[in-house]
Amino acid sequence: MKSLRIGVPVKEGFSEFVKVTPDPITNITKVTGYCIAIFDAVMAAFPYSVPYEYISFETSDGKPDGNYNDLIYQVYLQLKPTITDINELIKNGERMGYQKGSFVHEFLKWMKFDETKLVIYESPEELDELFSNRSSDGGIAAAFEEIPYMKLFLAKYCSKYTAVQPTYKFGFGFVFPKRSPLIPDVSMQVLNVTEGAKMVQFEKAWFGQTPSCPELTSSVSSNSIGLNSFWGLFLTVGVASSIALIICITTFLYENRDTLVHLDPPASVWRKIKAMATRFDHKDLSSHTFRKSEMVHRSGINGMDAVTASPASYQLPPKSVKPFHPNRE
């Protein structure tokens, strides 16, 4: 049986998915990675043996021999999601990042992104560097990437970035020629592998087990709102309250300076404070509030005096009563 020749892309970044390592001594190319492990598991699950070999899609000097579309010729994945908030990026003319050789480039052009605003990156480190600068300073405002690549990127920089909606469901694919007899069996085994426990093992083996983000946890705890977050507000309120208190005390002392003057000369400080406190506790008969309350109090008393006695307390003056008799015929 003729051996299948499986083409694999040669990429500089994201080697956890597909990594091509040539051996200069044996001249044998070793292909490893997350996608390779899944494909091997699919082929191993066949009830019959299928020989295959991996062929790196590269030039003689080890460089990528084209992009994703070149590798699979006329067969490639295409996304047609409902565009929502991405229109804001298009409207504002923001710079968008995409991975080199990815079909995302054609998709972004289809979405009417300005091609001059599209920026290429090849590795997670380069994407992080682009995000470190603003869009107007040569960086990017966002990156449109496949979810598995984003998971790997966020696993390395979980404290700095996050994936936001909308997301569009798609995945990796293994391309076969049309009418290949292996297509039904491969499709069936892909479903069995992806829905089984082996997928978790592959993700842990190639992406690492990252149930939580230590950097993110420490960042969230350190950036949580506390009293220090409102020091400016506390300072403003404290200064304003202190000024108001000083003005109030100064005004009170000035208006009641005669009380201090009339005290005996040897009066102690405590006696002066006590005298001013007593003075402060007295009612200010000249204040508007006191006059208003006094008027209400007096009107209430006068109102009670003006109430007349109830009709039951009246006695009618005696009147002459003439008996009435009906007419008699």
**H helices within the chain, ranges in order?**
34-44, 68-72, 86-92, 104-110, 124-131, 147-156, 183-194, 198-207, 214-223, 231-255, 257-261, 269-281, 288-305
In this structure, the number of other CB atoms found within 10 A of the CB of residue 37 comes to 19
Tell me if domain 1-74+173-204 and domain 78-170 are identical in fold. yes
In this structure, the number of other CB atoms found within 10 A of the CB of residue 86 comes to 18
The per-residue pLDDT for 265 is 64
What is the residue-averaged pLDDT of the chain?
Answer: 70
CA atoms within 13 A on the CB side of 173: 15
The per-residue pLDDT for 240 is 92
CA distances 200 to 17, 119, 155, 195, 196, Å, are 15, 33, 15, 10, 8
The per-residue pLDDT for 244 is 92
Enter the pTM of the model: 0.36
CA 146 – CA 160 distance, rounded (Å): 19
Is the bond into 166 cis (omega within 30 degrees of 0)? yes
The residues spanned by each domain of the chain are 1-74+173-204, 78-170, 234-264
The per-residue pLDDT for 241 is 93
Amino acid at 111: M
Q: Nearest Cα to 251, choosing from 280, 223, 210, 219? A: 280
Mean pLDDT by groups of 10 residues along the chain of 329 residues:
73 79 74 85 82 75 67 45 59 83 80 84 87 79 78 75 64 73 81 75 67 44 56 86 90 77 67 75 60 56 46 45 44
CATH of domain 1-74+173-204: 3.40.190.10
Per-residue pLDDT tens for 156-195? 776 667 776 666 555 566 777 888 888 888 878 877 887 7
Q: Nearest Cα to 164, choosing from 223, 88, 100, 80? A: 88
3-state secondary structure of 21: strand
The per-residue pLDDT for 101 is 79
As a dihedral over the C-alpha atoms of residue 74, residue 75, residue 76, residue 77, rounded to 10 degrees, the angle is: 140
The per-residue pLDDT for 61 is 66
For domain 78-170, the CATH class is alpha beta
